[in-house]
Amino acid sequence: MFNNITINGTGLDGVTTSRFSGPHQGAAIYTYTGNGSATFNNLTTSNIAYPNLYYIQNGFNLTIK
């Protein structure tokens, strides 16, 4: 569980990543696996290059409260 997290400015440098998947601009939250879960309480995001904010693999359980 993550509490009171601020993510600001990821992916704005124009560099794409492609470690385990196709290249993409930075997402606020990115998962490399379809296993597991994460919960964020009071998450604030701003200036995120990836249009959907989150890049989550099928099967990963992301909860944002």
SS (H, E, C) 1-65: CEECCEEECCCCCCCCECCCCCCECCCCEECCCCCCEEEEECCEEECCCCCCCEECCCCCEEEEC
- Structural domain boundaries of the chain? 1-9+23-65
Q: Please give the chain's pLDDT, 65 residues, in tens.
A: 999 999 999 888 777 766 655 666 788 998 888 999 999 999 999 999 888 889 899 999 999 99
| Total-model pTM | 0.78
